[in-house]
Amino acid sequence: MDFNFVTPSIDHDHGPGQPRPPTALTRREFLKGAGILTGTLAASSILSALAPSRAWALELKTLTSAQGEALLQMGKVLYPHKGLPDAVYALLVKDLDGAAGKDPKTAQMLSEGIAALDKAAGGSFAAASDAKKLEAVKSLQGTPFFNTVRGQCITALYDNDMAFAHFGYPGPSWDKGGYINRGFNDLKWLPDPSASASPAPYKA
């Protein structure tokens, strides 16, 4: 199951526009031991204007909810960004869950790594203090588990529309005609270069 913003819908159990809670999972999915991560975008987040709904849910195929939560928290320790919603970090969990589903060895490595995080945090990594979390992550630096999660962060966290909006990177520009008429040289806080160093743009 893909990462989804929960689209408003009407069903028998819930009113219109309500996010589908974990209980909506079928019995079969429960038997598979799949987990689910859910969250809500802060109303103040720039992303809440873009998403079809503030609530999001990520169903996991291989990892449990607790494992998913631990990886999400590990992502936040590795690449902390104030105000970056958990929905973006959930993309890391989605990618790792996908990798675990494809390869039992990866699933086992993640499972053991998460267990090591819990152990290093003295119980539950996800519930530990920020200082304890950092210590636990540091203690695993250099392990294949650490390298896998850290490497996955780079593509999972920074190559998606929510991250683009959060960090102020607009992505493709060709469909908007490039920046020739959209501020490629609009910087005003430094003196302009001479015309010989930087000639005026061509006007048809």
Residues that bind another protein (CB under 8 A): 78-82, 150, 153-155, 157-159, 163-164, 167-175, 177-180, 182-187, 189-193, 196-202, 204
Nearer to another protein, 28 or 188 (CB): 188
- Min dist CB 117 to another protein, Å, is 15
Give me the phi and psi of 37, to 5 degrees please. Answer: -115, 135
Nearer to another protein, 33 or 170 (CB): 170
Nearer to another protein, 31 or 197 (CB): 197
- Min dist CB 178 to another protein, Å, is 3
- Spell out a b/e string for 103-113, using b for 16 or more CB atoms within 10 Å of the CB, else e: eeebbebbbeb
Q: Which amino acid is at 73?
A: Q
- Min dist CB 32 to another protein, Å, is 31
- Min dist CB 55 to another protein, Å, is 26
CB 54 within 8 Å of CB 40: yes
List Cβ neighbours of 35 (8 Å cut-off, separation of 6 or more): 59, 60, 63, 64, 65, 66, 67, 68
Nearer to another protein, 144 or 193 (CB): 193
- Min dist CB 155 to another protein, Å, is 7
Separation of first and last alpha carbons in the chain: 50
Nearer to another protein, 63 or 163 (CB): 163
d(CA 117, CA 149): 12
Nearer to another protein, 123 or 151 (CB): 151
The radius of gyration of the chain's CA atoms, rounded to the nearest angstrom, is: 21
- Min dist CB 128 to another protein, Å, is 17
Give me the phi and psi of 58, to 5 degrees please. Answer: -125, 115
